Amino acid sequence: MRTTAALLLATGLLAGCAASAPDAAPGLDATADVVSTVSKDESVAALLPPEVRQSGVLTFGSSVGGTPPNAFYLPDNRTIVGLDIDIADAVGRVLGVRIDRQEAAFETILPALRSGKFQVGTGNFGVTEERKQTIDFVTYIDDGQGFAVRQDSDLAPVTDLVQLCGRIIGTGSGTTFEATLNANVHRCAETGRPPYQIQVYSEQSALYSALHQGRIDVLMSTINGLRHATRLQPNLRFLNEFRRLDVGFALPKGSPLCPALQAAVNKLIADGTYQRILRKWGTEPSAIPSSQINPPEHS
């Protein structure tokens, strides 16, 4: 579990001042209720497998170790809030089921889906062709990969990863960022330049601390997460978007839940709840026109 203390440490170090509680960025209210008015849609609920309709429960494996706005703890260290949380809870209301949310480390969720421990996974999982070989996705936002640096960095916006040759890059464990960096590091040698080094962190607090302390030169993470963090942390600068990716609920391959989840997301888009959730978290640019099951990976 990511503790409030760890979150406070990351915020305080980067700001160069006394730590403040993790929260939504200025102008956003992390506790605003945008879900409780959502009601069950019988036609959408009818798409659920009979055993789920009978139990009335969906088991979610959820990563809560990320930074706002996806999923994080309020200062009481018990209340989980975030974009992923609101969307999942709203989907549960449309389907008329209770979300049994079980916190899990990001890198353990996809294997746990394949083993049957969870029915659905959330954690800002980007849709990739590699992941689709063993996992099904039902999309609900469009986020992707971006970079952030310290305010005093001389690094220009990254349009090609060879710009990072010779640098030290920090990123999250088991992420599309790590996979992208590993797949391209050989290009440095091909251009006669020293390779970039990849430092992988399981805790976001450690990742941000490493950037502040100069142990890494640049941080690669989600576009929405980095934009949110730079609103809170004056010593952090969002460098640029690198690549967009659809993000979705992750499910075991061949899961019969996919049509019901897709219909529920589309119901939320149609009735305006979806837009209210994204507005709450300042992520309107990540809106999708409709949910898809296993769309092609963005090129």
> What is the full per-residue pLDDT of the chain (299 aa) written as tens digits?
333 333 333 333 333 332 333 455 556 799 999 999 999 999 999 999 999 999 999 999 999 866 689 999 988 888 999 999 999 999 999 999 999 999 999 889 999 999 999 999 999 999 999 999 999 999 999 999 999 999 999 999 999 999 999 999 999 988 999 999 999 999 999 999 999 999 999 888 889 999 999 999 999 999 999 999 998 888 999 999 999 999 999 999 999 999 999 999 999 999 999 999 999 999 999 999 999 999 999 87
Beta carbons of 151 and 237 less than 8 angstroms apart = yes
Largest pairwise CA distance in the chain = 62
In whole angstroms, how far apart are CA 174 and each of 2, 14, 115, 123, 207?
17, 24, 17, 11, 14
Token pair in block for residue 33: 């209720």
Beta carbons of 89 and 155 less than 8 angstroms apart = no
Rounded (10°) angle between helices 4-15 and 223-232: 70
Q: For residue 27, what pLDDT is reported?
A: 60
Half-sphere exposure of 56 (CA within 13 A, CB side): 4
Q: For residue 65, what pLDDT is reported?
A: 67
Q: For residue 68, what pLDDT is reported?
A: 86
Q: How far apart are CA 159 and CA 144, in angstroms?
A: 14
Token pair in block for residue 141: 């936002």
DSSP state of 49: -
* pTM metric for this prediction: 0.85
